[in-house]
Every structure is written in structure tokens, then in C-alpha cells.
Amino acid sequence: MMKLVIAEKPSVGVGISAVIGATQRKEGFYEGNGYLVSWCVGHLVGLVDASKYEESYAKWRRDDLPIIPGVWKYFTFDNKRVQFGVLKSLMNRKEVTGIICATDAGREGELIFRLVYQQANCKKPVERLWISSMEESAIRRGFEQLHDGKEFEPLYNSALCRAKADWLIGINATRLFSTLYGKTLNVGRVQSPTLAMLVNRHEKIKHFVKEKYHIVKLALDGIEAISEHIAEPEKAREIEAACQDRQAVCLSLVSERKAVAPPKLFDLTSLQRECNRLFSFTAKQTLDYAQKLYEGKLITYPRTDSKYLTSDMASGLDGLASSAGSFISVSASKPIRASLVVDDKKVTDHHAIIPTAEISKISASQLDVAERKILYLIAARFICAVGERHEYEAVTAVFNCEGHTFTTKGKVIVSNGWKEVDGKLRSALKLKGHDGDDEGVTLSRIMQGQVFSGAKAEMSEQFTQPPKAFTEDTLLSAMERAGVDEADRDSEGMKIKPGVYGLGTPATRASIIEKLVTGGFVVRKGRQLIPSTDGIDLVRVLPEVLKSPALTAEWENHLSLIADSKMSPDGFMRRIEQLARELVAGNTEPVEGLRSVLAGTRAVIGKCPRCGADVFEGKANFYCDNRDCAFVMWKNDRFFTDKKCVLTKDIASDLLSSGIARVKGLVSAKSGKSFDADVEMADSGGRYVNYRYKMDK
């Protein structure tokens, strides 16, 4: 008798195999010690396209909307059929008595496994491995404490509802607004309100009217004091002249003892924000690097929304702090303050991201630069989080010079506390500055009533500043907090679960940003995220219901309630289906004037050889503007990709105008040599357009 363990990725499968003794390598799995261990390679099974429900849905027509499947259908991704076949074969082995789901311990991991399990028509009992670390001890402990798979049915229901909701809104809204405006407008349940936030910020910056003001700076023996904002330049010049080379007196000196508590441990969003701010990593890059560190057993599970640890971990934190300190060459506070990071009530599916004990077994030089930076951050954050407070004296001095008031502020450090570790980290990573802190001590020399002679005054012209464009750091923060200021009940009077709000989840926000970028709706300009013309156009035509962060945050709350068995999946889906119907019923005509504006942004590539309508360029194809015509030329057509070539706009234009295009740089699959040739379009009116070499007659 054997049990089949199914991981989410090959690297995780290999790690588990080594721990449980399944050491015999086979084709697509490992075997040994009563176990078979295989993997999913991410999503193997997904929801089918609309055209699989009815062939007529292959054409986009508004009259077909809304498309709401009665019975949902699934398919296996073509490029993953081999691995699916391996899993199905292993599930059907007679000696396999049960399945252990070892995909990532979260909503999406549960969905990945369940869809494969169902598509394979497996009925064998399921147990769940739920771990937050790939350390050997954590894996062994997880196998000793396997959960009944039935406990995770609600989590699966939540994940499936998320997938279906995205399908329903994505398919129906995209087709609806694309047919209304004659241009492909991709709409997403989460990406649309995220895009709307970017566009709204862009518009505020674009229409910002800067206002001029003036200040007068007063130099007093190395101290710089500043006047209030002055609207009139004449008034500022008068103050400058009046104070030049005059005496100034310190009217007041206020010193206030302050303390900065240690920072919280990282969850995924805060780690992504810090990496973007310090290293300009994208959210996806940070997640990918963190995933590698997790699979390498060096950090705990990264896809978490918690910044705390559980009480059962408290006893091991002293040793972990010592290991983390050795890795980054600093000493942790003794004793560490574990109470700052331990709170069972604030831990959700997974605890905060921390280094593992394995960190003591490696040196920084064994990691690539990006992974090393992230591991340094996580190790330093852990030591800071259990360290002492940073204490200082905040000093404010007010001066009078010829009847005018000037102010300066400074700081006197009392105890560096956790910031000592933070400073050493910044030095090790060659990061400039001290996180914006002014740690100067010049004000400690000032006394109330002190007189300064020969003041130097200088007027300067200043301008109010527009809002800053979003970076991934600030956008992730905005996505995380979307809806947080709303009432504690949703639009249907349902109480919102504490701490559940925002656009997407920590695990999905990176992919949402990437979809907006790869879809051409957002462009990266340095660290800034700027909406493109297509992105601005899309937000202009969408109704408020699809742009509202509050609505999507409400949906995330509902999905969380489903995972907690406090809400019916069927009830949630009925709400989503009703929204799809209302979208179609409420948007029967394009907004006046916008259809022509949107259509005008497209360049005509040529005329359709089938119906004579204009052909335009899409993200992945060249398509006929007539939705009743099936003519489309795909950029990744195999005729071209097999020859290491892409169907470009110039080639497509030539083919549409004369039926023939001269294509350079084709590569022979047999010889590998490059050649040029005349390519002819051979359209027979079918689903796909065919191509061939033009033969001399």
C-alpha cells in the first residue's frame, strides 16, 4: 500500500521526497518508503473558454451576453498534458490507497490540487499537508500532523468562487465593452479598479496647478531656521532685508522624549514594498526571489498576510535571532522581546515571513545578489522586530529676528535600539541615508534666550508639489488598504471580517500589476507606474461599479467568509451572475462621443480579404473590425514561429494589400540557416489563416 503526495512545483516535490524517503527517481515522480511524490507544475487544469460552451461564442456579439454557464467545464492546458497524465496514472494505481495534497498551503494551492483531483476523476481519500517552511523538521512535523482533506473544502470553495467570478466578469465585461466601442478592452474583476486608481492619480497630476510661495532662511552659526510660507514676494524681500546681518534670539526651546517601536515582521506585501523602495524590484520579482528562498528552506512561506508568529514558536526565537544575526554580522538584543512578534489571534493561514534555522548553514556568497538582498532584509527585520525601542529627543527651536519668527527642528539620539541593526544593514547593502531620518545633534547646543549675531537671510521661491505617481511600493499599499475606510458592513448589510479588505490578496497583487503592464494598460517609467493611452481609455468607458475598490474589497471579504464556512458559495455566485446581467442590461449604448475617440486611436493595417472591413492590430493578432467575420491573423502563428520569426505589422500589411510579403531572416528548422523568402497568404475561409511560400509559375 502506498500514498501519493502531490506538490505544486517540482522543486518542492524533490524537497519533500528527500525528507520522507522517496528517493527513487522516475519519469515525473519519485518513489520509495511507501510513498509516490509528484507535482502539478502550477495550474494544470482551468476553466474553458466561452467558445467551448457554444461554438457561436467564438465570435464576440453583444446579443450573446451575458454568458453564464449552467454547468462549468474544465480543460487541461496543452503544454501540461504530460504531467497531468503522470498524476492521473499515479492516482489510478491500485496500490495507492490515499492522496496527500502538498501544494502550497493557501487558497490558490488548494484550487490547483482540487481541479487536478477532479479532472482525473479520483475518489480516493485526501489528507492535507499544511506547512509554512520547507525545513526538514517542518516537513516531518507536517507529515506527523496531516489534516483530513475535508477540512479544506471551504477553502477550495472560496478559491473556485474566485476563479468563476473572474471568468464571469472578465468574459462578459470584456466582450460587452469591446463590442460597444469597437476596440478590445480587457476588463478584470481586480485589475480594473487597480487601473482606475492609477488613472485617477495620473489625472490629478496632469491637472495639478502649482502655486507659488516664498520662504526666508536664516543662517545662525551653523543652524538653519525657516520662516512660514509667504505668498507675496515683496513681503518676503522685506523680511530678508530686515533680518540681514541682524541679531536673532532663541525665544523657545522645546524638547520632547520620543520612542519608535520596532517594526513588525514582514508579510508579503510589506516585503514587496520594501524591496521596490530599496532595490526597485517589481512585486513579481520579489515574490519569485522569495519563493526560491522558501524552496531552498531559508525562509518561511512567503504568501502570507500576517506580521505575527504563533505562541508555539516563541521558544525557538532566541536561537533563530542568533543565527540571523550571524548571517548579517550583527548581534541581536539580549534578551529578545518575543512578546512583540507573537500573537495567535493575528495569525491567519500562515505566520509572518522569517528566516529559518537553515540560515546558519550558508554564507551570503552562496546566493545570487537579488536573493541575498532579500534574505538580508528578512533576517534584519526579524532581529529589529524583537529588539529595543529607538529613543530620541525631538527638539524644536523658535527664533525672533526683527519681529519675524523662524523655526528649526532636530533630533538628539538617546538610544539607537533596533535602528542600530537597521543602519548596519543599510551599510552592508550600500544603501544611502538613514531612511529619511535627520539624526543631527546640532540643536543640543542651543539654549533658550541665546542671542545670535550677524544672521544671514536668504529668500527663495518655492512651489506646491503635485501628488506623486504611483510606484509599486505605493500602489501595493493602496491596493492593500482599498476599502479600509469604508463602513464595517458591506452593501448588503453583511459584517465585514476584521482585517479583510483591499484589492486582491498578497499572493495575487503582483500578478495583477504584471497583467496591467503586459496588457499594455500601464507602462513602467523608472520606478513609476504610468497608465497608457489604452489604460486611460478603458477607465473612461467603464461604469463605476467595475472601478470601485470598495466593491472588489467587498468580494474579497465574501470569499474570506466562504473559506470560514460563514457564507454560501452558491449565494456568492448568484451575486456575481446578477452583476454580469446588470452590466449587460445597463450598458446598451456607448457613452456619447467616446466610441469615435477610441476607434480613432487605432491604425488601420489593411482591408479584410473576406468582408472588406478594416483590419486592426491587437495585442496578439491582427483582427477584422467586423465582429461577425472570423478573420484573424495571429502573431504567433506556427508558420512563422517555427522559423524563428514573428508576424509583424509590416508583414501583415503587405499580405493584406497584395497577398504576398517579402520576409527576411527566416530560419530553417532542418539546417538552422537563415534565409529570405516571399510568403503568400492562403486563406480558405476557415478558422485559421494559412501561409505558404510563393512558388514561381
pLDDT in tens, 12-27: 999 999 999 999 999 9
Q: Grid coordinates in use for 260? A: 519608535
pLDDT at 234: 96
Q: How far apart are CA 120 and CA 72, in angstroms?
A: 16
246-261 per-position pLDDT tens digit: 999 999 999 899 999 9
DSSP annotation of 60 reads: -
- Which pLDDT does position 350 carry in this prediction? 84
Answer yes or no: is pLDDT of 432 > 80. no
Of 42-51, 147-156, 213-222, 686-695, the least confident: 686-695
Among 84-88, 541-545, 633-637, 691-695, name the one with the lowest average pLDDT: 691-695
Judged against a pLDDT cut of 80, whether residue 267 lies above it is answered with yes
Segments of the chain assigned to CATH 3.40.50.140: 2-145
Write the burial class of residue 86 (CB in 10 Å: 0-12 exposed, 13-18 middle, 19+ buried): middle
Report the alpha-carbon distance of residue 373 to residue 364 in Å, rounded. Answer: 9
Task: Give the pLDDT score at 484.
Answer: 59
Amino acid at 476: L
Which residues, in sequence order, are CB contacts of 112 under 8 Å at separation 6+? 8, 40, 42, 43, 44, 103, 104
691 is catalytic: no
The domain made up of 2-145 has a fold known as Rossmann fold (3.40.50)
- Burial of 209-221, coded b for 16+ CB within 10 Å and e otherwise, reads eeeebbbbbbebe
For the stretch 481-533, pLDDT in tens is: 886 555 454 545 445 554 556 788 888 899 899 989 988 899 999 999 999 98
Q: List the catalytic residue out of 117, 301, 308, 501.
A: 301
Question: In the sheet where 456-463 sits, what is the strand order?
Answer: 451-452, 248-260, 390-401, 404-415, 223-226, 212-220, 456-463
Per the structure block, which three cell numbers stand in for 516? 496591467
Q: Is the pLDDT of residue 637 over 90?
A: no
Whether the pLDDT of residue 438 is over 50: the answer is no
Q: How far apart are CA 235 and CA 230, in angstroms?
A: 7
| Position with higher pLDDT, 591 vs 149 | 149
pLDDT of residue 14: 93
Per DSSP bridges, beta strands 451-452 and 248-260 are antiparallel
**What is this structure's pTM?**
0.77
At the fourth CATH level, the homologous superfamily of domain 162-205+469-586 is: Topoisomerase I, domain 2 (1.10.460.10)
The span from the CA of 281 to the CA of 471, in Å, is 11
- Whole-number percent of the chain with pLDDT over 70: 93
Look at residue 103 and tell me whether its pLDDT is greater than 60. yes
> Residue type at 430?
K
Residues of the chain with CATH 1.10.460.10: 162-205+469-586
Residue count of the chain: 697
Q: Write the pLDDT tens digit of every residue in 150-185.
A: 999 999 999 999 999 999 999 999 999 988 887 778
pLDDT at 95 over 90: yes
What's the mean per-residue pLDDT of the chain? 89
- In the numeric block, which cell numbers belong to residue 269? 506585501
Average pLDDT over residues 669-695: 84
CATH among 2.70.20.10, 3.40.190.10, 3.20.20.120, 3.90.230.10 for 212-261+391-463: 2.70.20.10
Report pLDDT for 470: 96
As a whole number, mean pLDDT of residues 35-51 equals 94
Return d(Cα 241, Cα 342) in angstroms, integer: 60
604: confidence class by pLDDT, cuts 50, 70, 90:
confident
d(CA 218, CA 223): 8
Strand intervals (E) in 608-689: 614-617, 621-624, 632-634, 660-667, 674-682
Worst-scoring range by mean pLDDT, 104-118, 204-218, 295-309, 435-449?
Answer: 435-449
Instruction: Return residue ranges of the chain for CATH 2.70.20.10.
Output: 212-261+391-463
Q: What is the pLDDT of residue 620?
A: 77
Residues spanned by CATH 1.10.290.10 within the chain?
A: 268-388
| CATH tag, 268-388 | 1.10.290.10
Q: Does residue 439 surpass a pLDDT of 50?
A: no
